[in-house]
Amino acid sequence: MIVFKGFMKLVKKNAGIALMYISIFFSISLMVSKNLNTNTDDSFTASELLVTVIDRDQSPLSEALSAHLGETFTLVPLEDKENVLQDALFNRRTQYIIQIPENFQDDFQTGSQELITNKIPDSTNGMYADQTVDAFLNDVRSLNLAGYSLEEACQETKKAASVTADISLISEDTSVFSTYSFIFVYMPYIILCLCCYIPPIVLLAFRKKDLRTRILSAPISSRSQSLQLFLGFALLGLGFWVLNLLFVLAMDGKAFLQSPNVSYYLGNSLCLTLVSLAIAFLISTFLKRDDALSAITNVISLGMCFLCGVFVPLTLLGDSVKKFAQFLPLYWYENNVSLLNKVAITTKSQTLQLYQGFGIQLLFCVALVSIALMVNKRMNVIEK
């Protein structure tokens, strides 16, 4: 196992670069996961909107409108003075002021009613309050034109507004973006960086003339040398894969292990690792100098990560970009991760889609290794 030991010594020698990539990825993951775990519930609640109603008409219609706004929003009573109303709006003691003028009901029946509203500029809350007022008045007008008296129209509109629907979630689409799902989305970057840098630089050292001559002069067959290099390659890739899984377990292990899709996540990431090793093997075949490896690694890892939905979600990519990305293995990894992050329990068609993604990644792996072996054999013939 001389070749294998030499392989591992060279890996140990270049461990600093691997630690740098790992540290960067893990640090970013920690920061993002901290933000994910922060409670950022910004959901809108209508009752939280502060509304002031100044009713100068005191008619059944104006009282019905005031009552409806009181049931929908939080009423803030204020004195009917312009400076008081302006100060309250400026200091955010109220967010929406509606002034109902005198003879509003009479003007409403003739179609010439006018309401005075004041709200915070460019406020979505104010727009929502405007829509609520318009909807109430439109419903009252429709019922009044249909033959209801104005008082009856107000009562019927109030009853209709009080009706609520019971909503329950029956879809299995969870769309929960947990900490472990975030790590799996961005895992291709760290796996590609590690696999495209460490194994090629080790294989490049084995191709140097002095080391190659020593190995050839040793009583080791070419087959044994190849098997030992393959063992080192596989063990290194397995180590990178296990390292990332350990990080997943450390960050969100309980939720990950309880996920019904844990086996699919594992299989998908393993396929990713195999593809990354195949890419690394192809790089090592063409590589001549180690000073170019860093640039090659960055171009391949960053390029595929941007095109295949790692850094930019697939839903935001254009159709032409997605069509091109389908010719890259990372697209099928991210396509599987996107599906797994959306559903808790996969259907038969979704399971078939996942296995299709696994198969395409493995086909990419076989194709890349075949190309690398063909090129390597051709280069050996030329050297001889």
Q: What is the pLDDT of residues 274-317, one digit of tens each?
A: 999 999 888 888 877 777 888 888 899 889 989 998 888 887 88
Q: What is the maximum span of the chain, computed from C-alpha positions, in angstroms?
A: 109
Final residue before a domain boundary, out of 133, 158, 183: 158
| Residue 359 pLDDT | 95
Q: Are 237 and 273 in contact (CB under 8 A)?
A: yes
pLDDT band for position 47 (cuts 50, 70, 90): low
Q: What is the DSSP string of 330-368?
A: HHHHHHHHHHHHHBSS--HHHHHHHHHHHHHHHHHHHHH
Boundaries of domain holding 92: 47-158
Residues 94 and 208 reside in one and the same domain: no
| Residue 171 pLDDT | 44
pLDDT band for position 353 (cuts 50, 70, 90): very high
Residues 146 and 183 reside in one and the same domain: no
Lookup result for tokens 């400026």: 90
Residues 255 and 377 reside in one and the same domain: yes
Q: Are 94 and 49 in contact (CB under 8 A)?
A: no
In a domain, 11, yes or no: yes
In a domain, 354, yes or no: yes
CA distances from 260 to 36, 242, 344 (A): 21, 20, 7
Q: What is the mean pLDDT of residues 205-232?
A: 72
Residues 103 and 191 reside in one and the same domain: no
Q: Are 169 and 78 in contact (CB under 8 A)?
A: no
Q: What is the mean pLDDT of residues 190-219?
A: 77
Residues 240 and 265 reside in one and the same domain: yes
Final residue before a domain boundary, out of 123, 158, 193: 158
pLDDT band for position 41 (cuts 50, 70, 90): very low
The secondary element (H helix, E strand) that includes residue 52 is strand 50-55
In a domain, 108, yes or no: yes
Q: Are 247 and 170 in contact (CB under 8 A)?
A: no
d(CA 376, CA 379): 5
Tens-place pLDDT, residues 73-87: 888 888 888 888 888
Read off the CATH number of the domain in which 143 is found: 3.40.190
**Crossing angle (nearest 10°) for helices 222-258 and 15-36:** 10
Q: Which long-range contacts (CB under 8 A, 24 or more apart) does 33-42 make?
A: 33/179, 33/182, 33/183, 33/251, 33/252, 36/177, 36/178, 36/179, 36/182, 37/179
In a domain, 40, yes or no: no
Q: What is the mean pLDDT of residues 183-194?
A: 88
In a domain, 125, yes or no: yes
Residues 79 and 121 reside in one and the same domain: yes
Sheet holding 74-75, edge to edge: 74-75, 50-55, 96-100, 116-119
Final residue before a domain boundary, out of 158, 187, 217: 158
Q: Are 325 and 331 in contact (CB under 8 A)?
A: yes
Residues 216 and 345 reside in one and the same domain: yes
Tens-place pLDDT, residues 138-170: 988 888 888 888 888 888 888 887 766 555 544
d(CA 46, CA 95): 12
d(CA 88, CA 82): 10
pLDDT band for position 268 (cuts 50, 70, 90): very high
Q: What is the mean pLDDT of residues 4-30?
A: 78
Residues 183 and 309 reside in one and the same domain: yes
| Residue 32 pLDDT | 66
Tell me the three state secondary structure of residue 286: helix
In a domain, 234, yes or no: yes
Residues 244 and 344 reside in one and the same domain: yes
Residues 83 and 212 reside in one and the same domain: no
Tell me the three state secondary structure of residue 325: helix
Domain count, the chain: 2
Contacts of 152 (CB under 8 A, 6+ apart): 143
Burial of 266 (0-12, 13-18, 19+ CB in 10 A): middle
Residues 74 and 28 reside in one and the same domain: no
pLDDT at 239 over 70: yes
Residues 8 and 52 reside in one and the same domain: no
| Residue 45 pLDDT | 54
In a domain, 41, yes or no: no
| Residue 173 pLDDT | 43
pLDDT at 68 over 80: yes
Q: What is the mean pLDDT of residues 8-27?
A: 79
**Per-chain mean pLDDT for the chain:** 82
Q: Which residue has the higher pLDDT, 377 or 132?
A: 132
